[in-house]
Structure 1
Amino acid sequence: MPPRSESITGLLVAIQAFLIWGLSPLYWTHLSHVPAFETLMHRVVWSLVFLFPILVFQKKTRAFVKAMTNLRTLAVLTLTTCLVGTNWFIFIWSINNGHVLQTSLGYYINPLVTVFLGMIFLKERLSPKQKMAVLLAGIGVTWLTFDYGMLPWVSLALAFTFAVYSLIRKVVDVGPLVGLTVETLLMTIPAAAYLGSLGAKGQGAFLHLGGPTDLLLMGTALVTALPLLLFNLGAKALALSTIGFIQYLAPTCTFLLAVFYFNEPLDPSLVRTFALIWSALTLVTWDSITSYRSHGETPSVEKQA
C-alpha cells in the first residue's frame, strides 16, 4: 500500500487526467472551423512530436525499437492504430457537429461493452450484477433507438472502437507510452503525407487561418498525450478500484458541458437512457470494488483516448 501522501498526490494527478478528458470538448469546439479529418491529422503529427522526446527522456527507446521490430507486435499495433484513429476522428467530428451528449453516453457505455466483449471473446464469466448491468445498458440503447428511430451510432461507435481497442491491446506486451508512440508513428506516415499535399496546394488550416488556429492545432498534442501521462502517474499510487471509480468523472464532465454549456436538449428519451446506463455502471463499479476487496482481483479500468 503506497504512503498516504503518495496516494493523495496520485489521486489529484489522476483526477486532473480525467478532468482534461472530460473538459476536452471545450478545446475541440474551438477547432470547429477546421475539417475534422484535417484536425485529426494534426493531432497525430503533433502528438508524435510531443511523445517522442518523453519516450527518450524516460529511457524507453529500447522498448520502442523492440515493438517496432517484432512483426507480431507491430501487426497488433497496426490494428489498434486503425481503431484508435477511428475513435479519435468520431470524437472530434461529433464535438464539432453538436453531438456532445452522445460522446458522453459513448464513454459511459464503454466499460459495459468491455465487460460484454470479455464474455464473448475471452470466455469470462459474468457475475449476476454484471449480467444485470449489460442487460440494463442494452435496454437503454434499444429504448433510445426506438424513440429516435435510429441507432445512437456516435455513442456506440465510440464505445465499441475503444472497447475493442482495449481488448486487443491486452494481447500485446507494451506499455501505454510505448504503445501510444508506436500507434502515433504509424498514423503519422499517412497524416504527414496528407498535410504535406494540402500545404503544397496552398490549402489547409495550418499557416493559413492565423496564429491562434496554428497554436490550437499544435496544442492537440497536449490534449492527447498529457492526460495519458498524468493517468499513468496517478495509477501507480492508487488502488485500481479507486481508478475504476473516478474514471466516470470524464463522461460526467462531458455530460454537464453538453447540457449547461452547449445547451443540447436533454429530452425524456435521453434521460431514461442515461438513468439506465448510470444504474448499470453503479452495479459494475459495486461488483468490481467488492471483488477487488474480497479476492484482490483487478477491476477493469479504461483509459479514454
Structure 2
Amino acid sequence: MTPLRLGYLYGFGAYLLWGFIPIYLKLLRPAGPMEILAHRIIWSVVFVALLLAALRNVGFLRSLARRPRTLAGIVVAAALIAVNWGTYIYGVNSARVVETALGYFINPLVSVLLGVLVLRERLRPAQWVALGVGAAAVAVLTVDYGRLPYLALILAASFAGYGLAKKRLGLPAAEGLFVESAVLALPALAYLGWLASRGGSTFGEVSAGHTALLVAAGAVTAVPLLLFAGAANRLPLTALGMLQYVAPVLQLGCGVLIFHEPMPPARLAGFTLVWLALVIFSLDALRTGRRTRAAARAADPLPAAAH
C-alpha cells in the first residue's frame, strides 16, 4: 500500500472514530460529565504510558524537563483540551449532540480567525467571505436557539486554540498526549477521590461492562489521535482538511437520526450557511494549493532524476 493510500486510511479511521464517539459517551451514563472527563484523562495516561514503554520511547521526558517554555506550552494545551473534552461530554450527555457537531463544523473558520488575530496572517478575499457567512450562520442559529450556541463556540475556540498550541509545540502525537494527560492527572485523581468519598462515583458500582467502558476511555481517546498523526505525516494539508468534515457529519447524523434531536427549519438554515462557508473555504484552499504546486513546478521544471 502506498503512503498516500495509507494516509487516507489512517485519516478516515480517525475521523470515523471521532464521528461515532457520541454513542460511546451515551453508554457511560449514569456517570456525570466531570467523572467521565476525569476517567478519560487517567486512562489516557495509562494507555499511552504502556504504548510508549512498549516502543521504548520514554527518553523524551528528560529532554522536556530542561525546556520550561515547552512545559508551559504543554500546560496551556492541556487546559484547552480539558475544556474541549469536558464541554463535548456535557453537550452529548445533555442531548445537544447537534450543537456539538456545529462546533466542529465551524472549527476551521475559528482557526482561520486565530491565524489573523494571533499570528497576524493575511486572509485572501474568499477567506473573508467564508468568515462573513460563518458569522451570519451564528447569528441565525442564535435566533433559532434563543441564545448564542455557546457550546459550539466553546468547542470550536478551545479546539482551534489547542491546534495552535500543538503547532507551536511540535510534539509527536503519543508523547504530546501523554504529557498533556499527565499534567491533568493529579486534579483528575483528586476529583475522583472526592467523588468516591461522597458516594457519588459510578466506577465499579453500576456493572462490570460500565466499568470496562470507563477504563476503555484511554484507548478511545488515544487511538484516533495516533491515527490522525499517521495521516498528517502522509497526506497533503488540503486532503487532511477535506477529511476533517467526516467527523461532524457523522456526529450530526448521530444527533438527528439516532438520538432524535430536533432540526427545525431555522436551525437547518443556520447549518446550511455554515456548510456554504466551508465550501467557500475549502474551494479556496484547493485553488491555492494547485497554484502553489504549479508555481513550484514552474520554478523547478526539471524532473527529480535530472538533479
Fold conserved (TM > 0.5)?
Answer: yes
Match of 2:159 among 151, 159, 162: 162
Out of 63, 66, 80, the residue aligned to residue 66 of structure 1 is 63
Larger CA deviation: 52-61 vs 25-34: 52-61
The match for 2:278 is 281
What do residues 131-171 of structure 1 show as CA deviations (whole Å, max 9, x unaligned)?
00000000000121123321001100100111112122232
Alignment gaps of 5+ in structure 2: 295-307
Alignment counterpart, residue 207 of structure 1, candidates 204, 207, 210: 204
The partner residue of 2:123 within 108, 126, 141 is 126
What's the counterpart of residue 26 of structure 1? Answer: 23
- In structure 2, distance between residues paired with 1:291 and 1:93: 38
For structure 1, the 5+ residue unaligned runs are 298-305
1:187 alignment counterpart: 184
Aligned to 2:303: none
**Following TM superposition, by how much is the alpha carbon of 1:81 offset from its aligned partner in structure 2, in angstroms?**
1.0
What is the rounded CA distance, in whole Å, between the counterparts of 1:114 and 1:210 in structure 2? Answer: 41
1:236 aligns with 2:218: no
Amino acid corresponding to residue 111 of structure 2 in structure 1: T
> Contact 1:94/1:154 (CA < 8 Å) preserved in 2?
yes
Q: Do structure 1's residue 143 and structure 2's residue 140 form an aligned pair?
A: yes
Contact between 2:140 and 2:267, CA under 8 Å: does it hold in 1? no
8 Å Cα contact 2:144/2:267 also seen in 1: no
* Percent identity for Structure 1 against Structure 2: 36
Could you say which residue in structure 2 is the equivalent of 1:107?
Answer: 104
Counterparts of 1:214-225 in structure 2, within 5 Å, are 214-225=211-222
Partner of 1:300: none
Q: Is the CA contact (8 Å cut-off) linking 2:20 and 2:250 kept in structure 1? A: yes
> 1:68, 1:182 within 8 Å by CA — same for their partners in 2?
no
Instruction: Give the 3-state SS of the residue equivalent to 2:2 in structure 1.
Output: helix
Structure 1 residue 271: deviation in Å? 0.8
Q: Tell me the TM-score normalized by structure 2.
A: 0.91
Equivalents in 2 of 1:105, 1:229: separation in Å? 24
**Amino acid corresponding to residue 152 of structure 2 in structure 1:** S
Q: Which amino acid aligns with 1:110?
A: N
Cα displacement (A) at 1:201: 5.0
Query: Partner residue of 1:226?
Result: 223
**How far did 1:202 drift?**
4.8
Task: Tell me how far apart the structure 2 counterparts of residues 6 and 236 of structure 1 sit (CA, whole Å).
Answer: 9
TM-score, structure 1 as length reference:
0.91
Q: Structure 1, residues 20-42: CA drift from partner, whole Å, max 9, x if none?
A: 00110010011131111011000
Write the letter of the residue equivalent to 2:82: G
Query: How many residues of Structure 1 are paired with residues of Structure 2 in the alignment?
Result: 294
Distance, in Å, in 1 between the alignment partners of 2:232 and 2:117 is: 28
Q: Helix, strand or coil: the match of 1:170?
A: helix
Cα contact 2:13–2:224 (8 A) shared by 1:
yes
More divergent stretch after superposition (140-149 vs 76-85) = 140-149
